[in-house]
Amino acid sequence: MIKIGNIDFSYGNVPCLEKISLNLEEGKIYGLLGENGVGKTTLLTLLCGLKKVQSGSIDVDGFSPYDREPDFLASQFYLPDEVSPVNAKAESFAVNSGQFWPGFSIDKFNEIMKVFEMDTEQKMNAMSAGQLKKTWISFALACSTKYLFLDEPTNGLDIPSKAQFRKAIMSFTREDSTIVISTHQVKDLENIIDPIIILDKRDVLLNASVQEITEKFYFDYGTTLNPASLYTEQLPGGFIQVYPNAAGEESKINIEALFNTVHKNKETVKAIFSHE
């Protein structure tokens, strides 16, 4: 488990994260959402130990990430949004780099590359941006780490590749893994992320499972406006609106509508999801 306790981080005199606390459990794929500049990438780099919290603490199974102990590093992989065009063939790169992760499998790497319809003999510095991203995603998954942090992994992927990414995530990750995916492309990941975290600079606005969210909110795709709606958006032929699920009815979550609901009603949403 990852325990984040009251952490602060600033860039010079500019605060980025302030008094952020949350727990991340095993066996879940977290969607990390937030407006530009709230610190999603910073949080990922703190979790993997590339940056050090200025106050508060992060505990990953007893490790403090910034200590970067070998056993901790072997248990996690961080894939940034921008990846390097290595001067090597994909399979050669994977074989040489994979030795740093005990769970790495070259067979698994090759299998994931097939899912992405990629040539493992192609040189990475001759790939398009999308091909390079798919190669790095394949490597990240092939490392079979307990903790996997992905920053905007679907950026640069075309529509078929996004479907392949979803398949790869669901097929090639460990059952006990904690996966955190930071994204603006919520529709790309709507069917795989659960729970959902919505981050603000000074707060975690939401950290809840899809089941908890649909128990609390009703997502209405209709033609009649509800006066209790917390968020409404006009669509062709009607509306998507979100309101408290007083009747306990089932509905399909719309993550974009959820995000807008939370940001328009921060204190109301926090009160609705309060466990106190």
Domain with 32 in it: what CATH number?
3.40.50.300
Task: Say whether both 155 and 247 belong to one domain.
Answer: no
Q: What is the mean pLDDT of residues 178-189?
A: 90
pLDDT over 90 at 201, yes or no: no
Task: Say whether both 124 and 17 belong to one domain.
Answer: yes
Task: Say whether both 50 and 143 belong to one domain.
Answer: yes
| pLDDT value of position 275 | 56
Q: What is the rounded distance in angstroms from the CA atom of residue 144 to the CA atom of residue 136? A: 13
Cα-based angle 46, 50, 54 (whole degrees, multiple of 5): 50
| pLDDT value of position 240 | 94
pLDDT over 90 at 274, yes or no: no
The residue among 157, 187, 207 that closes a domain is 207
Task: Say whether both 153 and 256 belong to one domain.
Answer: no
Q: How confident is the model at residue 202 (pLDDT cuts 50, 70, 90)?
A: confident
pLDDT over 50 at 135, yes or no: yes
Domain count, the chain: 2
Residue type, 245: N
Per residue in 57-112, pLDDT (tens digit) is 999 999 999 999 999 999 999 999 999 999 999 999 999 999 999 999 999 999 99
Q: How confident is the model at residue 185 (pLDDT cuts 50, 70, 90)?
A: confident
| pLDDT value of position 141 | 98
Task: Say whether both 231 and 110 belong to one domain.
Answer: no
Domain that holds residue 152: 2-207
pLDDT over 50 at 250, yes or no: yes
The residue among 186, 207, 228 that closes a domain is 207
Alpha-helical (H) ranges within the chain are 40-47, 70-74, 90-98, 106-115, 129-142, 159-171, 186-189, 210-216, 255-264, 266-272
**Chain-centre distance for alpha carbon 222:** 30
The residue among 162, 189, 207 that closes a domain is 207
Task: Say whether both 128 and 242 belong to one domain.
Answer: no
Q: Which residues pair with 150 in a beta bridge?
A: 79, 181
Q: What is the rounded distance in angstroms from the CA atom of residue 132 to the CA atom of residue 153? A: 11
Q: What would the DSSP string read from start to end of 161-191? A: HHHHHHHHHHHSS-TT-EEEEE-S-HHHHTT
pLDDT over 70 at 276, yes or no: no
| pLDDT value of position 10 | 92
Higher pLDDT, 12 or 148: 148
What is the pTM assigned to this prediction?
Answer: 0.93
Residue type, 263: H
| pLDDT value of position 206 | 94
Task: Say whether both 203 and 257 belong to one domain.
Answer: no
Q: What is the mean pLDDT of residues 188-211?
A: 91
Q: What is the mean pLDDT of residues 181-200?
A: 90
Per residue in 23-38, pLDDT (tens digit) is 999 999 999 999 888 9
DSSP SS3 for 125: helix
| pLDDT value of position 7 | 95
Task: Say whether both 118 and 221 belong to one domain.
Answer: no
Task: Say whether both 255 and 142 belong to one domain.
Answer: no
Task: Say whether both 51 and 95 belong to one domain.
Answer: yes
| pLDDT value of position 37 | 86
Region for residue 128 given its phi and psi (left: phi exceeds 0; alpha: psi -120 to 50; beta: otherwise): beta
Task: Say whether both 147 and 220 belong to one domain.
Answer: no
DSSP SS3 for 109: helix
Task: Say whether both 176 and 219 belong to one domain.
Answer: no
Token code pair at residue 189: 């990941």
Nearest to 2 by CA among 197, 169, 245: 197
Q: What is the rounded distance in angstroms from the CA atom of residue 82 to the CA atom of residue 66? A: 22
